Amino acid sequence: MNKIIIVVLLIFILAFVGYFYILRPIVTEEDLTEIATHREPLQIPLIDHSNFHINRKDLEVVITPVAKYEISAIILSKKKYATNWASIISPFDLALGWADVSKPENYNHIKFKQILRWYQYTYNSQCAIDHHYISQHSSNHHIIPANDNVKNAIQAAKKREKITLEGYLVNVSGKYKNGKVSWRTSQTRTDTGNGSCEIMYVTSVKLGTDIYK
């Protein structure tokens, strides 16, 4: 009996290790420069760009890039979703902060919460920045990974870690189970409320000095 238990435990351990090995992102490049979270996100409008098509789990959508987009920020909060059609292509939301929001003397006094693909925050009197500044230097990003390696990199990213994302702000339209669906990205960092989140098709992730594409 003891031998059977040991064998079962070994199989379980090997399966557990194998599962996480499969999900481990593969480094495709290295960049020794520090991630510069003090910079504003870079957005360049697109005049013309090829669309991306996804057909997966009863979902058929066209992803239309509207701007080339790059952001370097602190991960203020991270949440995985798996409950509606959008989570099929966008399983993660990242609440990101840059400029003074990315400084620990500020974000340590701010509490962030993500729910229903929104993010909310509260801050105490010790925070040196106010609501207006926080709202214009933080944003919730709906992440659409370009491939499994990018997805695994996002999976591995941790709260309070610096990250650089490159890709596109996109709109999404199509069908899910014969019903029409659509999702439109924000194209400004100054909006709030409904429609103010960025929908980002991510082609590259940088964590530390490692880049994943």
Query: In the prediction, which pLDDT does 19 show?
Result: 44
Residue in 211, 199, 212, 206 with CA at minimum distance from that of residue 75: 206
**pLDDT tens-digit map of 5-16:** 655 455 555 544
The pTM (predicted TM-score) of the whole model is: 0.88
Query: In the prediction, which pLDDT does 47 show?
Result: 85
Q: What is the mean pLDDT of residues 144-161?
A: 98
Q: Are 101 and 133 in contact (CB under 8 A)?
A: yes
To the nearest 5 percent, what fractions of the chain are helix, strand and coil? 25, 45, 35
**pLDDT tens-digit map of 102-137:** 999 999 999 999 999 999 999 999 999 999 999 999
Residue 20 confidence class, pLDDT cut points 50, 70, 90: very low
Query: How far is residue 110's CA from residue 121's CA, in Å, rounded to a whole number?
Result: 7
Residues 6+ apart with CB under 8 A from 35: 72, 162, 163, 164, 206, 208
Q: What is the mean pLDDT of residues 27-47?
A: 96
Residue 4 has pLDDT above 80, yes or no: no
Query: In the prediction, which pLDDT does 3 show?
Result: 61
The chain-wide mean pLDDT, for the chain, equals: 91
Alpha-carbon dihedral sign for residues 199, 205, 206, 207: positive
Domain boundaries, the chain: 28-212
Residue 40 confidence class, pLDDT cut points 50, 70, 90: very high
